[in-house]
Structure formats: C-alpha cells, structure tokens
Amino acid sequence: MNAVLSTILKRLGLGIATLFVVSAIIFSSISMLPGDFSEAVLGQAATEETVAAFRKELGLDKPAPIRYFEWVGSVLQGDLGTSFSGRNASGQDRSRQVVDLVMPRLWNTLFLAGVTALIAVPLALFLGLTAALYRNTAYDRVVNAATLTTISTPEFFVAYILILFLASLWPVFPSLANIDATTALGERLYRVALPALTLTLVIVAHMMRMTRAAIINLLASPYIEMARLKGASRSQIILKHALPNAWAPIATVIAFNLAYLVVGVVVVEVVFVYPGIGQLMVDAVTSRDIPVVQACALIFAATYILLNLTADIIGIVTNPRLLHPR
C-alpha cells in the first residue's frame, strides 16, 4: 500500500514540476506575441512618453525573467493578477481581478463538461462493452460505423446539424446556450442540451472504440479461455474477467477526452454563444490581455496534468501487481 502511495506522490510531484515547466513556456511564448497591450489601447498616435508611462504602470517595463517570477510568485499565493482591459490612457481604472473574470467562465465550462461527461462516458462504456460482446455482428458494425461518422465530422458541422433538426425544424432545445450566474439549474440543463449533445457525439467514438479494443485484446488470454471452461457466460466473461484488466487503457482515453471537454470546446462555445473559458481566452488574446491569457493557459495545462494523473492512478489501483506486491 505504501509503495502505491509513494508512486502516487511521485507522480503528483512530477505533475507539479511539469506545471512549472509549462508556466515558463506559456510566459515566454506570450512574450513573443507580436504587438503589446499599451500600443493596442493607446493607438498609433500616442507619443513615446505616454506609451512608456502606461507600460510602467502595467509593469511591462521590467525585464522578462523578473516579470515571470513576479507572476509565478503571485499565482502561488492565489493571485492571478489584474486584467489589462478596463484601463485606458485617461488614468481612470475600471479594471477587474483576473480571478473574477475567469472563475465564472471556468465554472460554466466545467458545468458543460460535467454534463457531457455524465452522458458520454457511460454511453461510450456501454457501447464499447456491448460491441465487444457482440463483436462482428450487425450491432457491432452499426455502432462502429456510427461513431466513426460522428468523429470524422467537424464539430461545428455537427453543431449546426443539431441546431437545424432540434432547434429549427423541431424546436425542442434552444439554439443559444446563454446562461449567467442567476440561471436556475433546470434552466441551465435545458440550455446546455445541444452543446452537450454535440460534444458527446464528438468524444464518444474515441472512448467507445478504445474500450472495445481493450476488451477484445484480452479475449485471447488463456485466463479468458479458462473462464469459459468454468462455464462463465459471455457477459460474465466480459464484465468480470476482461473489464477489470482493461481499466488502465480505458481510463487513459477517458482522461484525454475529458481534458478535451475543458480545453478544446471553443468552437462549440462560439456556435452556441456559450460563455465558457474558451471564448474568454480567445477574446483576451485578441485584446492582448496578457494576465487573462496566462491564467487560462495555466488552467488548461493544470487540467491536462490533473486528468492524466487521475488516469495513471486508476491504472495503478486496478493493477493488483502494483497494489499487492509480492
């Protein structure tokens, strides 16, 4: 048990180290973006003195390494900084804390991701297991072909098709998913139905096919033949004898897709005008709002690392060789 705990702690430590490396990459790549915020706000006509003063006020005049360590230091204290937008040359400061900008958006994204995951993960597991159970039957082929179709179609196209059928021709769901902090839970669920459905169609195929492959891969093992010769039925073989040995690869692909739900949904957000973190980041990049861009990028990186870590841990705790060493 202690060996497992120390492995998990090691992975966690590695994850944190990765996050630091990623933060450096984020910072340096954003520094390399052409143009800067002060010029974007003040316009071409601004005098060099005004620009310099404005840059000084934002702290952009300091050398990059110092700015990086200041940023990392304040992030470690839970302070993501202050947004650049809302400032202008007049000296009047209506700027907001990055946390206040990002958190509601992040919450919205997590809500959509959570709803999608609740539909997509059980659905993918169910389809994958049944496809493995009835492999090479008509059912298997239909499921494979259908999921392959949805994964091969661009997601904005899937989104517009769904809008056409479920919002326009048969108006079951709204085509706009605009929610805010005051929207009640039931109403929220109703409004995110179409984006959640779109995302489900996009991610189910990958998870389903991996589940099917992982199970079928195990069906040639001698212990599966043994289970058959002990009189186990097909479903018992798949659920009891194959699935417990297949969790590691399945967890990895689920983690990958869940991470995509957080960091890759900007297209779907744009189509349904959903106020998620993807849109926020795109807007911030356009307006050179560096603190917001950095915060979003850092959140995305942390999401990936955290979900992969979870998949690793599932791989460890479902492997009796690691969990119960000799």
Partner 1 sequence: MTDPSRPSTTASGDILLKMRDIRIDGYSDEQWHPIIKGVDLTLRRGEIMGLIGESGAGKSTLGKAAMGYTQPGCKLIGGSILFDGIDLAKASDRQKRHLWGTRIAYVAQSAAASFNPAHRLIDQTVEAATRRGIRPDAESRTDAVELFRALQLPDPETIGNRYPHQVSGGQLQRVMTAMAMSPRPDLIIFDEPTTALDVTTQVEVLASMRKIVEEFNTAAIYITHDLAVVAQMADFIQVLRYGEEVEEAPTQQMLTRPEQPYTKSLWSVRALEKPEVKGDDIVLSIDNVDAAYGPLKVLHDVSIKLPRGRTVAVVGESGSGKSTTARVMTGLLPPLSGTVTFNGEVLPAALKDRSKDQLQRIQMIYQMADTAMNPRQTVEDIIGRPLEFYLGLKGKEREERILELLEMIELDETFMDRLPSELSGGQKQRICIARALAARPDVIICDEVTSALDQIVQEGILKLLLRLQQKYNITYLFITHDIATVKAISDEIVVMFEGKVVEQGLKSEILSPPFPDYTKLLLSSVPEMDPDWLTNLLQNRDI
* CB of residue 296 to partner 1, shortest distance in Å: 40
User: Of the candidates 226, 235, 273, 286, which one interacts with partner 1 according to CB under 8 A?
Assistant: 226
Pairwise CA distance, residues 263 & 269, whole Å:
11
Q: Which two tokens stand for residue 192?
A: 């995110």
Q: Which two tokens stand for residue 268?
A: 């779907």
Asked whether 128 and 209 are in contact (CB, 8 A), the reply is yes
Q: Which amino acid is at 91?
A: G
Asked if 231 touches partner 1 (CB under 8 A), the answer is yes
Using the minimum distance from each CB to partner 1, give the nearer residue, 69 or 223: 223
Q: Which two tokens stand for residue 191?
A: 């409004």
Site pattern 300..319 for partner 1 (x: CB under 8 A):
------------------x-
Q: Residues 126-129: contacts with CB within 8 Å, 24+ apart?
A: 127/204, 127/208, 127/211, 127/212, 128/207, 128/208, 128/209, 128/210, 128/211, 128/212, 128/215, 128/250, 129/211, 129/212, 129/215, 129/238, 129/239, 129/243
* CB of residue 324 to partner 1, shortest distance in Å: 5
Using the minimum distance from each CB to partner 1, give the nearer residue, 18 or 236: 236
Using the minimum distance from each CB to partner 1, give the nearer residue, 87 or 241: 241
Asked if 212 touches partner 1 (CB under 8 A), the answer is no
User: Of the candidates 10, 62, 141, 324, which one interacts with partner 1 according to CB under 8 A?
Assistant: 324
Pairwise CA distance, residues 68 & 291, whole Å:
11
Q: Which amino acid is at 229?
A: L
Asked if 129 touches partner 1 (CB under 8 A), the answer is no
User: Of the candidates 51, 227, 298, 309, which one interacts with partner 1 according to CB under 8 A?
Assistant: 227
Asked if 228 touches partner 1 (CB under 8 A), the answer is yes
* CB of residue 137 to partner 1, shortest distance in Å: 15
* CB of residue 231 to partner 1, shortest distance in Å: 4
How far CA 119 is from CA of 95, 123, 126, 241, in Å, comes to 39, 6, 11, 26
Asked if 297 touches partner 1 (CB under 8 A), the answer is no
Asked if 56 touches partner 1 (CB under 8 A), the answer is no
* CB of residue 4 to partner 1, shortest distance in Å: 14
Site pattern 234..273 for partner 1 (x: CB under 8 A):
--x----x--xx----------------------------
Q: Which two tokens stand for residue 257?
A: 């897709």
* CB of residue 168 to partner 1, shortest distance in Å: 49
Asked whether 130 and 143 are in contact (CB, 8 A), the reply is yes
Using the minimum distance from each CB to partner 1, give the nearer residue, 73 or 244: 244
Which is nearest to 259 in space by CA: 296, 194, 199, 305? 305
Residues 83-122 that bind partner 1 (CB under 8 A): none
Binding site for partner 1 (CB under 8 A): 220-223, 225-233, 236, 241, 244-245, 318, 320-321, 324, 326
